[in-house]
């Protein structure tokens, strides 16, 4: 019988990520420029790295393209249904819940698939965590990854542009002639 205790910490980390992702799916989220820029940077770097590893298996570019097209469709749907709300401390946004649930299911499904794949592998020594090209060997995993990357890059870019527009509209409303704050 295998010793499953060494899987406890990675499983707890995955559960924490899933919990945080699920919590972010429900309700309004604070619009934070720094956080959005950081996430765009991380997703861009990881996406470019996976894309570069695709040259080892050029057939995977088909999965990448399909993933990017699906991510674009999800992103455009989320953009069309995003709602903004001004609160005393900042702007908040709420995405389309079904799009977020779709992304969450893709994320959880691929994690579960990879865990089952590793657990059922005849020789677990073949799975070297220091070898990032192993994640591009499976075109389905790479394709789904590009769904998520494209969705978040498109959606976070939209949120950054929209935040600037919301702040400019708010500033323009503050200097309007009937504004009581200027009558002081």
pLDDT digit string, tens, across residues 50-107: 888 777 777 788 889 999 999 999 999 999 999 999 999 889 998 888 888 888 888 7
What's the pLDDT at 180?
46
**How many beta carbons lie within 10 A of that of residue 1, not counting itself?**
3
What's the pLDDT at 15?
82
Question: To 10 degrees, what angle do helices 97-120 and 8-25 make?
Answer: 170
Q: Does the pLDDT at position 158 exceed 80?
A: yes
Residues 6+ apart with CB under 8 A from 24: 100
* 84 phi and psi angles, rounded to 5 deg: -115, 150
What's the pLDDT at 135?
54
- Per the CB < 8 A criterion, the answer to whether 142 and 61 are in contact is no
- Look at residues 149, 147, 134, 139 and name the one whose alpha carbon lies nearest to residue 44: 149
Cα 24 to Cα 16: distance, rounded to the nearest angstrom: 12
Q: Where are the beta strands (DSSP E) in the chain?
A: 29-30, 83-86, 91-94
Q: Does the pLDDT at position 183 exceed 80?
A: no
Cα 181 to Cα 150: distance, rounded to the nearest angstrom: 42
- Per the CB < 8 A criterion, the answer to whether 85 and 160 are in contact is no
């Amino acid at each position: 019988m295998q010793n499953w205790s060494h899987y406890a910490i990675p499983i707890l980390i995955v559960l924490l990520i899933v919990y945080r992702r699920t919590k972010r799916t429900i309700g309004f989220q604070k619009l934070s420029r720094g956080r959005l820029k950081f996430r765009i940077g991380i997703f861009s770097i990881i996406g470019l790295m996976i894309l570069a590893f695709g040259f080892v298996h050029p057939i995977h570019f088909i999965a990448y393209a399909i993933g990017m097209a699906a991510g674009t469709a999800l992103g455009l749907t989320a953009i069309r249904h995003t709602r903004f709300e001004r609160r005393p401390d900042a702007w908040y946004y709420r995405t389309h819940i079904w799009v977020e649930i779709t992304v969450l299911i893709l994320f959880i499904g691929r994690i579960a698939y990879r865990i089952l794949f590793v657990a059922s592998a005849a020789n677990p020594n073949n799975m070297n965590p220091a070898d990032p090209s192993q994640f591009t060997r499976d075109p389905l995993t790479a394709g789904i990854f590009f769904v998520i990357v494209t969705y978040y890059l498109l959606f976070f870019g939209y949120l950054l542009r929209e935040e600037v527009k919301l702040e400019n509209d708010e500033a323009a409303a503050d200097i309007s002639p009937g504004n009581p704050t200027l009558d002081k």
